Structure 1
Amino acid sequence: MSTERSRAPLTPQRKAFNSRSNRQPHSNVHPQLSEIHQAKIVSIQEYGAFAEIKGYPRHGLIHKSHISKYRSENVGEILEVGDIVWVKVIGVEEQDGKTKIKLSMRYVDQGRGEDLDPNNVQLSQDQNRHKSTSASKMVNPIEIADAVVNATCRRCGGKGHMDTDCFVQQGEHPSHKSRRIKEVKTMEDALEVMRRKARKKERQKHKHSGGDKRKSRNKSSISRRKDHSSTTESPSSD
């Protein structure tokens, strides 16, 4: 029994599409945004399918996320070369002198060719969702730190830092490298000692400040008690 997918009979629309004599060139070199077109699948790739729109020389890409609202990782399970589909133009970009055309089947009724998202509301929501997902997949800072730890400096040949952060000066003789490393380590140690002393001094300052306030309050209390005692013990005049 053949494992090939049963093919639908060739429709009049497909005959008309495949007939090169019926192709009429458009005034534009590429389709315009939000236009609805019939397209013929000419190539299947892992990431999507390329489609030919009648009258335009450049093929457009239907990314696999835009083939159906139910995403499938295997494009070949949904499309085959020669299929005729309805597509909507969702992107036209110029890159390196070439025009890249982005197409979508999701926003078009495949039976009637009707635009299911005429105001591009759903398209905008999907694009914003994709941007948010991409942002959330940013490299973890820990992974960046690990990459730096495993990096090799092109300036000094040492590991654990990038050449932009290297303490060895540009063009410095290699024999000076170890001495500069020791100098940097000594400076770092000295700075750490100074920071520790500053923290200790700050703690002592707060401690003495609190003690002075308590002493001041105690002196004031003793003075008031002495004044009270002196008043009560003074002899009455005859």
Structure 2
Amino acid sequence: MMQQNVGHQYLHLAADQLSDPDKVLDLSRSSSKAIDIMEDILGTNAFSYTLGDDSHMALYPEVARINHGCKPNAFVRFSPTSFDVKVIAFRDIEVGEEITISYIPLNHPREKRQRDLRRWGFECKCSLCAASKTEIAASDYRREKIASLQADVMKAIDELDGTTAVRAAYEILALVKAEDIPPMVASQYEVLARLFWKAGDIETATNYAQESLKTLVDLGYIDHHADDLALLLKDFTT
């Protein structure tokens, strides 16, 4: 308890040294377990980032005010060198359209999303959650099928069944495109690249690796560097 109290004191000291402490102190709070206002604010609004091998909490007051959407039009990109963040659009955002980001993983079905979002104290009523029962059922089916197929890919890899792994990976790619989850499209291209690399088809593996990097650059997740492809392919051999 003594160590916890000291931690709270440091958090308050850090807030007091800000040029505008109210930017932090006025942020929303949602924790029923926090015993200190700063602990509650961080738990509600901070982002978690890994630097080296350690996980850290980072608080950006302006970004923290962006609302959640299960099918967001933007995402937060963190720089591990400058420690700043950028809010980058997935797509063109219409005039007057609210900017939204996702607080949770993008590939969960509606019931799990709602359950996970309760920690912030609200029920999501975004366009995806408020869609018709038919649309929600179709979306949930695709997302649950993606999770099932991902398990099939891992099982096939363990059993050295490359044909089954590739077939399931292609099906996942079609589903994430249908569900419009852009980051998962990029990661699925990389999965296919790794599978073909393992099978010895270097040309196809390289093509999918290029598609993965291109998708990430187009989305704004990464900047283009001339050695990106070489570094990714090198990682396939480790």
TM over 0.5: no
What's the TM-score once normalised by structure 2's chain length?
0.20
Normalized per residue, the structure richer in strand is 1
Larger Rg: 1
Higher helix proportion (structure 1 or 2): 2
